[in-house]
Structures are given as structure tokens and as C-alpha cells.
A = this chain, B = another copy of it.
Amino acid sequence: MATTVPHQQPTPERFFDFINAYQQTEAMKAAIELEIFTAVAEGNTTAPTIAKRCKAAERGVRILCDFLTIHGFLTKDGSEYALAPDSALFLNRNSPAYIGGAIEFLLTPRLREGNARLAEAVRRGGTALGQGTLEPENPDWVKFAQAMMPLMQVPAETMAAELRKGGEAHKILDIAASHGIFGISAAKQNPSAHVYAADWKNVLEVASKNAQAMGVADRYHLLPGSAFETEFGSGYDLVLIPNFLHHFDLPTCVTFMRKVYAALKPGGRAAIAELVPNPDRVSPPTAAAFSMMMLATTPTGDAYTFAELESISKSAGFGRVELAPPEIGLDRLVIAYR
């Protein structure tokens, strides 16, 4: 399938936009830090009033707000700014769906450095940072667990509800549990289920607190350590594998899925949530582009197509493998049946 290029006449403008794209990152970071969206939500709609609320200079605010308008995060009518719908929902600190805190992980120095050394990563075929994000007890995953939790709540509920349709689960394993929200949502959908959360010890402290706060602590158990080495036990109805496989190469994924297969009871399900590009690997854009983050920050990770995830699962012994209909945030849900 050939991709198309939208504009007709050659122009260097797209090159400039691309080279200067780091300004978008910096502008969003500044807007979150200064609480620009929150200020507008509170009724400050002009550069002078936003500037006062954000303790910033009017000129600085005007230029930043114009930039955010150019890129669709604000609208502008005369000199009045308003929030675009996305910004109202996700970027106002007082919105329950606020995700601004995600920058604490998304812009963590290790991720930025991995990308800054991209030419080196392309040359060697993997991150220039040694083990990259995969180092044991990497504190970035604690940040991830704390920062991404609000963003993952709706996807986790969607995933748990979809999986509940396939039958009740009594013993659930949550791989790379992180904030724990995938396992916690499954615990809520399956009232008798015990959830075993696997992740690095430092990360499980976050999951454990969340399990307590969300009232499932008595059915929540911790499996600290590397997911490749920890003894999972057996007899699981359901193993959740959200955003984990993309960190590894195909053979490693197969090895891991064999371990999952062994932990499941017959008829049990492995539920993989992943950014899944189409076979062309260039669409849909966000899922396809995710490969680049894996190249920059892991030794051998990638965004896998459904065919690859199916092949991984079947090589590990699974029978049927299906792509479930709902979107799990930016992810797709792949279910492999033992």
C-alpha cells in the first residue's frame, strides 16, 4: 500500500516544521508547568488575565497561547482564548481526566537522551543507552506508574469489561503492573478474583497503594522482580500483559509468552494490550511511530503488528488469537487462548 504526500509543490516548509518540532514539546511542557490551560478553564481568557493567574509576562503568555492556538490546543477569537475540547478534558488540572502529569514520565531525561542519540541508535539498531529503559529497578518506571495512572484508568476499565464478557476470572496475573490499574480494574470486574501483580519492587509500591485506595488490597498480591525470572505460580484464568511485549525482540517475546502459557490453566486467556501498527508499519500514525521510541530507548523493542503478536502467541503454544474490537486508549487488545 503506497502512502501519499499531501502537498503539490516542493517547499522547505515541512522540513523546517519538522526540525523545529522540538518547540512543540517545549511549548506543551511550559504550558503544563505554568498551568495555562487551567487558567483559561478558570475564566482567564486574555493574555493579560492569563499572565496574572500564571505569574508570567503578558508578552510571553500571548506568544505561547498563539502557538498553542496554531496547533489546535486553544482557539482564539479576537484577543480571547478558549480551550479546545481535548484541552478542556485532559489539560485542565481541575478536570478528573487531567493527564498533564504524564510529562513527568514522557519527558524524563533518559527518554530524551535516547532520542537525542538517535543516529547512534540507527547505526547499532538499538538504543545508545545500554539497557535503556530496561534496567532493573529503573526509577523511571516509578515515574511512569505515578504519571500515567490517570491516563490509563479509562483504557483499563474498557479492557476489564471486554475481558469480563469472555467469562469470570478467579485468579489473575498482571504483568508489569506499574500503577496497577489494569489488574485493579479486572479485580473490580471479577469480584472473587485474586490479582497477582508482577513488576520491579520499587514500582509495586505504587500499585500496592493504588490497590489499597481502590478497595481491592485484600485480593491483591505482589510478585516483585524481573518478569522473566519471577515465579508466577500457576492456575491463572487470565494474564494481563499491557504494554510490555514492545520492549523486547520477537524471540524474547516468544520465550516470555511460553512462561505465560505455562502459568495459565487450560482455557485461560492472555490479554495483550499494545500499540498495533498495520502490516504496512506506517499506519495508523501514532501506533506506527511508536517503533521509533522503542528504537531510541530499548536494545531490541518494537511496535508489533497483529500478525506478529499472533505468531508470537502461537509459537508459545497458544491456540486461537484474536484482535478484540474496542480500542484500549491508543492500544489494541489481543487475546490469546490456551
A interface, CB within 8 angstroms of B = 1-7, 9-30, 33-34, 54-64, 66-67, 69-73, 75-77, 84-86, 88-91, 99, 102-103, 106-107, 112, 115-116, 118-119, 121-126, 151, 280-283, 285-286, 288-289, 291-296, 300, 302, 329-330
A16 contacts B282, C-beta separation under 8 Å: no
Selected contact of A107 from candidates B19, B58, B60, CB within 8 Å = B19
Residues of B within 8 Å of A70, CB to CB, are: 3, 282-283, 285, 288-289
B30 near A118: Cβ-Cβ < 8 Å: yes
A295 nearest CB neighbor, chain B only: B63
Which label, helix, strand, loop or mixed, suits the secondary structure of the A interface? helix
Whole-angstrom CA separation of A119 from B294 in the bound complex:
29
Among B1, B61, B90, the residue within 8 A (CB) of A122 is B61
**Cα separation A61 to B282 with both chains bound (whole Å):** 14
Residues of B within 8 A of A21 (CB): 21-25
Copies of this polypeptide in the complex: 2
Q: Are B102 and A295 in contact (CB under 8 A)?
A: no
Q: Looking at the complex, which one of B5, B69, B122 makes contact with A30 (CB distance below 8 Å)?
A: B122
**Chain B residue at minimal CB-CB distance from A75:** B3
In the complex, the answer to whether B63 meets A292 with C-beta atoms within 8 Å is yes
- Asked if B86 contacts A34 (CB within 8 A), the reply is no
B102/A19 in contact, CB under 8 A: yes
Whose C-beta in chain B lies nearest to the C-beta of A57? B125
CB nearest neighbor in B for A62: B281
Contact (Cβ within 8 A) B26 A118:
yes
- In angstroms, Cα B124 to Cα A58, docked, is 9
Q: What are 5 A-B pairs with beta-carbon distances under 8 A?
A: A1-B77, A17-B286, A19-B107, A67-B289, A70-B285
Of B14, B64, B291, the residue contacting A63 (CB under 8 A) is B291
Determine the distance from Cα of A99 to Cα of B18 in the docked complex, in whole angstroms: 13
For A154, give the chain B residue with the smallest CB separation: B12
